[in-house]
Amino acid sequence: MTETIETGAAPVAAGAPGPTASAWAIILEALRGSRQDYTEGPIGRAVVLLAVPMVLEMVLESVFAVVDVFWVSRLGADAVATVGITESMLALIYAVAMGLSMGAAATVARRIGEKNPDGAARAAVQSIGLGIAVAVPIGILGAVFAPRLLALMGASPGVITNGSSFTRIMLGANVVILLLFLINAIFRGAGDASIAMRSLWLANAFNLVLDPCFIFGLGPFPKLGVVGAAVATTCGRGIGVLFQFWTLSRGRGRVVIRREHLSLDPAAMWRLLRISGNGIIQVMIGTASWVGVVRLLSGFGSAVVAGYTIGIRIIVFAILPSWGLSNAAATLVGQNLGAGKPDRAERSVWIAALYNMIFLGSVGLTFVLLARPLIGLFTKDPAITPFGIDCLRIISYGFLFYAFGMVMTQAFNGAGDTWTPTRINLFIFWLWEIPLGYVLSRPFGWGPRGVFAAIAIAFSTLAVVSVTIFRRGKWKLKKV
C-alpha cells in the first residue's frame, strides 16, 4: 500500500520529488512548451507555465535597443542621437503593435477556449492581414520623409545628414516590428508562450551577431556604420518573423494556418480593429503621460531628470516579470471565457495577482532598503544621486498596489474589454497623476518628491479602481 504525505495542496507519494524538484520540472516544461489545456487542471500551475516564457520574452524584447546603443556608442554622439531619436519615433509604432496585439491575443484565446482551432487560425490570419495593412503606409511615409521627421524631432544637421538612412530603414521596415509583436501575441493567446519566447531568442541571437558585423565591417560584411545597426536589427527581427510563419504553417503549435484559412474577412477585421483601436489609445495614453511627468521634473533642473531617468530605468527592468504574469492572466481569461468558465477565469486573475504581489512586494522592499547602492551602480554624481534614491524609494512604496493594477489591466484586455482600461488610464494618468504631481511639487512645496509621490499615488489609485470595476464582472459578458 502506497504511503502518502499530506501537504497543503494534495497528497504526495513517499519518495516522490519534493517541492523544489517539482518547481524545476514545471519551469522546464514551460520552457519546452506545455501542451496543457489551460481551461482544466490547477490554475497556479497554469499561471507558472504561461508566465515563465512570457517573462523571458519581455526581457528579450528590451534587449534590441540596448544592443544597438552598445555598439553604436563607439561611433560618436551623432550616431547615438540618431538611434535615440529614431527609437522615440518607433515608440508610436510599438504602441500600435501592442494595441493590435491585444485584439489578436484576446480573439485567438477565446477561439482556443471554445475548442475551435479553425476559428483561431482564421482570427490569426485576419490579425496578420490587419497588421500588414497598417504597417505598409507607415513604412512608405517613414522611408520617404525620414529626414524631415528627424528635423521635426529637433535633430542636429549632423544627425540628419548621417542618420537619415538609419531612420529610413527602421521606419520603412516597421512591418517586421509589427508582425513580431502581433504573431507572438497570437502564440500567447493560444497558450504557446514558449514559441513566442523562441522567436525572440532567434531574432536577438542574429541581432547580437550581425550588429558588430554590419556596423564595423567584420569579415565579408560591408562597413555601414550606424546604418549597419538598422540593417542588423531589421534582419534579426525579419528572421524571427520567418520562424513565426514557419511555425504557424508547420503545425508546431496550437494555431495552424492552412491554405483554406488564407482569406480576409472584412467583418472579422473590423471587430479586431475595434478591440485593437482602444488598445492603441490605451498604450498611447500611458506612454504620453510619462512625457508629462518629465515635463514637470524638468522644471527642477537636469540633475532631477537624470536621477529620475536612472531610477525609472531600474524600476521598469525589475518589473518585467510582472508583465509576464499579467500576460499569463490575459491568456487564462480569454481561454476560460471561451470555454464558458467565467468563474475559473476570475480565479485565474486573483491567483496571478497574488503571485505578482509576492514578487513585486519583495522587489519593492529591496528597492526601499537598497536604493542608495542600486543608484550608485549607475552614478556617483552627488547632484544626481539623491534624486535617483528618492525616485526609487518613493515609487517602490506602491509596488503592492501595482501588482494588482497590472494584472487587472491585462485581465480586461484578455477578455477583449480594452475600452475599460483605456478610460481608467485616461482618468488616472491625465486627470489625476499630472495635476497631482504639479500640486504636490509646486503649491505644496514638495519639489521633485511631490512628482514621485504622485506617480505612486496614481498607480495605487489605478489598482483600487481596476479591482473595483473587475469585481463587478461585466468583463465576463464581453463578446469577441
Contact present, 138 and 168 (Cβ < 8 Å) = no
Distance CA 326, CA 323 (A): 5
Of 210, 240, 254, 205, the residue nearest 228 (C-alpha): 210
Cell numbers 516544461: residue = 29
Quote the cell numbers at residue 258.
Answer: 492552412
Residues facing 12 on adjacent strands: 5
Q: What is the pLDDT along the chain (480 residues), one digit of tens a residue?
A: 333 333 334 444 444 455 565 878 888 888 888 888 999 999 999 999 999 999 888 877 767 667 777 788 788 878 888 887 888 788 889 889 999 999 999 999 999 999 999 999 999 999 999 999 999 999 999 999 999 998 988 888 888 898 899 999 999 999 999 999 999 999 999 999 999 999 999 999 999 999 999 999 999 999 999 999 999 999 999 999 999 999 999 988 899 999 999 998 998 899 899 899 999 999 999 888 888 898 899 889 988 988 998 898 889 888 888 988 999 999 999 999 999 999 999 999 999 999 999 999 999 999 999 999 999 988 888 999 999 999 999 999 999 999 999 999 999 999 999 999 999 999 999 999 999 999 999 999 999 999 999 999 999 999 999 999 999 999 999 988
Q: Which residues contact 362 (CB under 8 A, 6 or more apart)?
A: none
User: Where are the strands (E) in 268-348, listed by range?
Assistant: none
Distance CA 190, CA 245 (A): 15
Contact present, 290 and 434 (Cβ < 8 Å) = no
Question: Residue 4 is inside which H or E element, if any?
Answer: strand 4-5
DSSP state of 414: H
Three-class DSSP category at 258: coil
Of 256, 393, 405, 244, the residue nearest 323 (C-alpha): 405
Of 395, 404, 399, the residue nearest 464 (C-alpha): 404
> Dihedral angle at the C-alpha atoms of 28, 32, 35, 36, nearest 10 degrees?
20
Contact present, 274 and 104 (Cβ < 8 Å) = no
What pLDDT score was predicted for residue 69? 73
Contact present, 196 and 31 (Cβ < 8 Å) = no
Question: Residue 267 is inside which H or E element, if any?
Answer: helix 266-298
DSSP state of 223: -
For the four alpha carbons of 359, 468, 54 and 352, in that order, the dihedral sign comes to positive
Contact present, 334 and 318 (Cβ < 8 Å) = no
Q: Which residues contact 474 (CB under 8 A, 6 or more apart)?
A: 417
Distance CA 480, CA 477 (A): 10
Distance CA 341, CA 352 (A): 17
Terminal CA-CA length for the chain: 51
Phi-psi region of 160 (alpha: psi -120 to 50; beta: other; left: phi over 0): alpha
Distance CA 120, CA 116 (A): 6
To the nearest 5 percent, what fractions of the chain are helix, strand and coil? Answer: 80, 0, 20
Of 105, 104, 122, the residue nearest 257 (C-alpha): 122
